[in-house]
Amino acid sequence: MEGGAYGAGKAGGAFDPYTLVRQPHTILRVVSWLFSIVVFGSIVNEGYLNSASEEEEFCIYNRNPNACNYGVTVGVLAFLTCLLYLALDVYFPQISSVKDRKKAVLSDIGVSAFWAFLWFVGFCFLANQWQVSKPKDNPLNEGTDAARAAIAFSFFSIFTWAGQAVLAFQRYQIGADSALFSQDYMDPSQDSSMPYAPYVEPNTGPDPAGMGGTYQQPANAFDTEPQGYQSQGY
């Protein structure tokens, strides 16, 4: 599988940042990375409220600490995952092993699809808890914009990660359709099983028989035995 199917450049080639940043999957990774920062940053900074009657802070999403914890955890892990696969995009042109390239693309498909699912769960969870939140818990509407931003960018992240999975699957198909993707690929010039071409005697004159100078073994050149019993006259 060549670099055109996944990553920038050819195997073993030099890193080209200009080519890398123009790759659709790299663009989606950067966008997903920014979205994850918005989600966990909004919750960490303004997702917890103080009450005059309570000493401890509580989550803005219906006082459910699991909602805030889920948003922060998924956001931070998605942030780290984006960095990991951005590093893989940079290193990918240096991978010469077809087997390792195939593993990298397959992992990209699985991880991206998994994160799209996690963001879908997070969006549904946060939106539901925000919907059932009681106005009396936040009479001053503190942090409401940040809470809505976390929900909105969780929703957007579903599509950015799903897009990464689709692009990775397309790269896998491109590689699978190529003979170079298979470990069984053999250079035809190195294939010893191919038949040899017949020996052709140099044609130094006219060829009245029209044989083109092809060497042919005489029919009875090595036939020294008599063909059956022959009667002899006395």
Compute the distance between CA of residue 115 and CA of residue 158 in angstroms, rounded to an integer. Answer: 8
Residue 103 has pLDDT above 80, yes or no: yes
Give me the pLDDT at residue 233, please: 45
CB atoms within 10 A of CB 14: 8
Q: What ranges do the domains of the chain cover?
A: 31-184
pTM here?
Answer: 0.68
pLDDT at 167: 93
- Contact between 201 and 25 under an 8 Å Cβ cutoff? The reply is no
H/E segment holding residue 59: strand 54-59
Q: Is the dihedral of CA 164, 165, 168, 170 positive or negative?
A: negative
Query: What pLDDT was estimated at residue 141?
Result: 82
Tokens of 71: 């948003």
pLDDT top residue among 128 and 199:
128
- Are residues 35 and 122 in contact, defined by beta-carbon separation less than 8 angstroms? no
Kindly report, residue by residue over 31-57, the tens digit of the pLDDT.
999 999 999 999 999 999 887 777 788
Q: Read off the pLDDT of each residue in 68-80 and give the average, rounded to a whole number.
A: 96
Q: pLDDT tens digit string along 114-167?
A: 999 999 999 999 999 999 998 888 878 888 999 999 999 999 999 999 999 999
Measured between alpha carbons, how far is 148 from 39 in angstroms, rounded to an integer? 10
Mean of the per-residue pLDDT values of the chain: 77
Instruction: Give the rounded percent of residues in the chain with a pLDDT score beyond 70.
Output: 68
**Cα Dmax for the chain:** 141
Helical ranges in the chain per DSSP H: 17-21, 24-46, 65-91, 98-131, 144-176
Decide if pLDDT at 68 tops 70: yes
* Residue 93 near residue 15, CB atoms below 8 Å: yes
Mean pLDDT of 212-227: 48
